[in-house]
Amino acid sequence: MNKGIIILLFLFLYASRLAAQADSPFRVVFWNTENLFNTHHDSLKNDYEFLPDALRHWNYSKYKKKLVNVARGITAVGEWNPPVLVGLCEIENDSVMLDLVRYSPLKEHGYRYVMTHSPDERGIDVALLYQRDRFKLLFHRSISVGTFNSHRPTRDILHVCGLLSTGDSLDVFVVHLPSRSGGAKASEPYRLFVAKKIRSEADSILASRIHPQLIIMGDFNDYPENKSIKEVLAAIAPPHHPIPLKLYHLLARKAKADKYKFGSYKYQGEWGLLDHLIVSGTLLDTSSPFYTNEKKANVARLPFLMTDDDKYGGQQPFRTYYGMKYLGGYSDHLPVYVDFEIR
């Protein structure tokens, strides 16, 4: 085979690969995995409840099943193709992520990951899985939130920047805001404090990039109508003509239209959206080579992620634990996702 034919064959295969990538959606997922802990004690963290001799009796077989469940959930949300980006929270450490990408069924998809190493007392962090053939990692950083009054330390913000096949960069924030422990109202100032940090970092990117493309995804422990999202981030449902440098909430309209029935989390019989997908207006521009719209975003209510709600009726997320009772399910949250189109 002469050199010219080899070059033509290479170009044909390369063009075919690019065409296949253009045809398949660029799916972005976020999922709170509900305490994805290994069975080893970290001397610097309060992880005692997830050890074999603790009240939960967390052991290797349960941990292995949890890894398989998380891998299965991610693969199923991707449908025919593995999601390109998967934000995760409630991840204990690097060893858990290594087990997930190397020794669970997820190993077939060739994921790489980055994550934070936060001062959270329990040791839980946020992470991002990525398909390196469709998202070329440029850099990542862990943004410290800092201290707030007498509250215990919370999770860092994960900022990841990567290159798309369009030649543009994409900035991604993966977040996990402070919980509602102690009551939603009493704990709200801490979430507002973290939301202001996210807003400041987002504004910096929107001001410094020539063509800023930003995704903020995570568990805010707040609903779309709460101050952290509606006022601090000013993320609302997209209008008919989105403004490029504004932030828009891709699931806010669905959540408002079907309040108490639409959501990623169920509390005392009512569904609510705690897990959010927020984008810059530039990503809603249909003339852009990389874009989406709110119709392409949803909560993944896959049948095997659900179970009957015997107390309140209907269904609820099939969680790993209910209190201290082991159920063997997936998570107390459902994944959220959005598809992007690439020209």
pLDDT tens-digit readout, 177-187: 999 999 999 99
Mean pLDDT across the stretch 229-249? Answer: 97
How does strand 112-115 pair with strand 297-299? unpaired
C-alpha–C-alpha distance, residues 16 and 234, integer Å: 41
- pLDDT, tens digit, for every residue of 295-320? 999 999 999 999 999 999 999 999 99
pLDDT at 217 exceeding the cut of 70 = yes
Give the pair of three-digit tokens for residue 197.
């940090």
pLDDT at 8 exceeding the cut of 70 = no
Give the pair of three-digit tokens for residue 233.
């981030």
> What is the structure's pLDDT at 25?
87
pLDDT at 22 exceeding the cut of 70 = no
- pLDDT, tens digit, for every residue of 115-167? 999 999 999 999 999 999 999 999 999 999 988 988 899 999 999 999 999 99
> What is the structure's pLDDT at 1?
53
Alpha-carbon Rg for the chain, nearest whole angstrom, is 20
Instruction: Say if CB 31 and CB 83 are below 8 A apart.
Output: no
pTM (two decimals)? 0.93
- pLDDT, tens digit, for every residue of 268-291? 999 999 999 999 999 999 999 999
- Which residue segments constitute the domains of the chain, with CATH numbers given? 26-342 (3.60.10.10)
> What is the structure's pLDDT at 150?
83
